[in-house]
A and B are shown apart, each in its own frame.
Chain A
């Protein structure tokens, strides 16, 4: 690995880790400076797709991730509209990933930030996450693929950045049909410009450095490549230092902010995220960044995350500090089954049904 490449991902990781802590300092919920799952869930609530009153806010960070990735990829020549790699399934996998993340209470990035704040529940989550990735890697080793994407008209690639812009306009204009939490995590928010600025910066950093929380373990398991692992370790180290300096470090299992102690479900929740994200080819923030640089398949994943958040809260699947409801337990297990079915279905030779002559097998 080139020293330049290595320093790029380490510096990016450090900056993302520090921003994750600073956003808490400026008002975001504790241990939730950055979280794609929580923030997309808040956006889903802000649009009124679910009515959990404590988690409704059109988080500008998420729009920032997308717009930052969009702008920098335009400059670097990387922006290109592409699509057609099982978009509908990616939408559904995005849903499953969101259900898993909301049972744990955080995306893999928040898992790292929770670890760096001393939340031991996230250690259990991390073990589940690694297990889920391990399962996904077994499919990948056997030829799992959601198929090739094609180059498509660039207008397609602007759709998700356009949506990000619309969300920003809505949060600024604040029309009556947009919801803003008056209490709870959705009420804890950094000032608008700081949220947006940090989001754009993180979007740029992740786009340039390719930071990915599943890639770090996946690539170690598959090819022994530690490149992305350095990035994740840098996020952890920087956030740990930041938490220690600002006095946010509080080691233990109980009374952790926006977390619960149901270890089994923390494990299963992030196992679902690990498996789903491995099948998708990237963790939720990485998918969000790809959606900003013209990847419409990742755009479908993003919409799946948004829809999954609405489903999770509408049907009471999402966890709370009190733990995981029976509905949530059922939902996350169903998500796991769904992902395993997809894993097998896209690994074995494809069955094609023909009108005459029965069934043929092809690759």
Chain B
């Protein structure tokens, strides 16, 4: 896994975006920063809640009605 992996969760039903993000972050040493692309408010909210709960920092950028979430180490 290289840094800046784009995880595409667009169009997936609840809770698949969250599961895939969690799997990408894994339990070991995930390659950070990880960039996730989502296309619904709910998926973006859920991913933000998941990763902050896991102790990562995240920034969301809205781009043409899609959400680009950049997940990185806690600063």
Instruction: Please state if A82 and B16 are interface contacts (CB–CB under 8 Å).
Output: no
Q: How large is the interface on B (under 10, 10 to 19, 20 to 34, 35 or more residues)?
A: 10 to 19
Chain A: minimal CB distance from B23 (Å): 9
Tell me the minimal C-beta distance from B46 to chain A in angstroms.
Answer: 8
B22–A223 touching, CB < 8 Å = yes
User: How many pairs, one residue from A and one from B, have CB atoms within 8 Å of each other in the complex?
Assistant: 57
Judging by beta carbons under 8 Å apart, are B49 and A145 in contact?
A: no
- Count of residues in A whose CB is under 8 Å from the partner chain: 30
Contact between A150 and B11 (Cβ–Cβ < 8 Å)? yes
**B13 contact set on A, CB distance < 8 A:** 85, 145-146, 149, 280-282, 297
CB of B49 within 8 A of CB of A218, answer no
Cα A65 to Cα B51 in complex, Å, equals 31
Q: Is A362 an interface residue (CB 8 A)?
A: no
Q: Which of A1, A80, A85 contacts B49 (CB 8 A)?
A: A1
Q: A148 in the interface, Cβ–Cβ < 8 Å?
A: yes
Contact flag A149-B15 (CB < 8 Å), given A223-B50, A225-B49, A225-B50: no
Given A151-B39, A225-B53, answer yes or no on A80-B65 (Cβ-Cβ < 8 Å). Answer: yes
Q: How far is the CA of A146 from the CA of B16 in the complex (A)?
A: 10
Say yes or no for A123: interface residue by CB 8 A criterion.
no
Q: Is A78 an interface residue (CB 8 A)?
A: yes
Of all chain B residues, the one with the shortest Cβ separation from A80 is B65
Closest A residue to B62 by CB, please name it.
A77
Contact assessment for A148 and B49 in the assembled complex, using a CB-CB cutoff below 8 Å: no
